[in-house]
C-alpha cells in the first residue's frame, strides 16, 4: 500500500484501470463459459424482441430435445420429471412440431422442425448468470420465410420451480 501512495495520480489511475479491465474481462469470460452448465435441465421464459410475445422453453438435461410452448404450465409440468418431459415432447411431435437445442461455448441454437421444414435461431455471445441468459443478438433462418440477424439485447429468464 505504501508503494501505491508513492505513485503519481496518472499511475494510480492506470493501476485502477488495469484492475477494472482484468476484473471485467474475467467476469465476462466466466459468464460466457457458463452457458453449457446453465441451460440443460432448466426452463426459461423468452420475451420477443418486440416484447409482444413470450415463449417458455424447457431444455432436456440428457438429450438435445426442448419443449417450447406459449403456456407456462406445459413447460413447468415438463420440468417436473423425465416422464413429463417426454410426454410434453411427444405431444409436440404428435402435432408435427419438434424442437432441439445445442449449446456450444457461448452459443445457444434452437431448431424447430415443423411439417418437415426446419427453422433455426442462433443466439450468439450468450452470458449466463444464475437466473438469466443474455445475448447481444441472434441470427435466424426461418423455413420458407428467409433469414436475418437481430442486433438487440435479448434475455431469457429462468423459471423457478
Q: Which residue has the cell 412440431?
A: 97
Handedness of CA 64, 110, 50, 96 (dihedral sign): negative
Tell whether the model's pLDDT for residue 12 goes beyond 90.
Answer: no
State pLDDT tens for residues 95-150: 889 999 999 988 999 999 998 899 999 998 898 888 999 998 899 999 888 899 98
- The predicted structure's pLDDT at residue 52: 74
Q: Computed from CA positions of residues 102, 106, 70, 140, in that sequence, does the dihedral angle turn out positive or negative?
A: negative
| pTM: predicted TM-score of the whole model, two decimal places | 0.82
Which of 109, 84, 81, 110 lies closest to 97 in space, CA to CA? Answer: 110
Instruction: Quickly count: other Cβ atoms within 10 Å of residue 8's Cβ.
Output: 8
Q: Per residue in 25-57, pLDDT tens? A: 766 776 677 788 889 999 999 987 666 788 999
**Which of 22, 39, 25 has the alpha carbon at shortest distance from 134?**
39
Least confident of 60-64, 152-156, 157-161: 157-161
Q: Can you state the percent helix, strand and coil of the chain, rounding each to 5?
A: 35, 40, 30
**How would you classify the pairing of strands 97-104 and 107-114?**
antiparallel
Give the residue-averaged pLDDT of 72-76: 94
Amino acid at each position: 500500500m505504501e508503494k501505491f501512495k508513492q505513485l503519481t495520480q496518472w499511475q494510480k489511475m492506470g493501476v485502477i484501470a488495469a484492475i477494472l479491465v482484468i476484473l471485467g474481462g474475467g467476469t465476462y469470460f466466466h459468464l460466457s463459459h457458463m452457458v453449457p452448465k446453465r441451460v440443460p435441465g432448466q426452463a426459461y421464459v423468452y420475451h420477443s424482441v418486440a416484447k409482444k410475445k413470450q415463449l417458455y422453453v424447457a431444455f432436456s438435461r440428457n438429450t438435445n430435445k426442448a419443449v417450447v410452448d406459449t403456456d407456462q404450465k406445459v413447460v413447468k409440468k415438463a420440468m417436473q420429471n423425465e416422464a413429463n418431459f417426454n410426454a410434453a415432447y411427444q405431444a409436440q411431435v404428435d402435432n408435427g412440431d419438434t424442437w432441439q437445442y445445442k449449446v456450444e461455448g457461448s452459443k445457444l441454437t434452437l431448431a424447430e422442425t415443423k411439417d418437415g421444414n426446419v427453422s433455426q435461431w442462433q443466439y450468439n455471445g450468450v452470458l449466463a448468470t444464475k437466473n438469466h441468459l443474455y445475448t447481444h443478438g441472434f441470427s435466424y433462418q426461418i423455413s420458407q420465410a428467409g433469414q436475418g440477424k437481430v442486433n438487440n439485447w435479448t434475455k431469457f429468464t429462468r423459471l423457478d420451480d
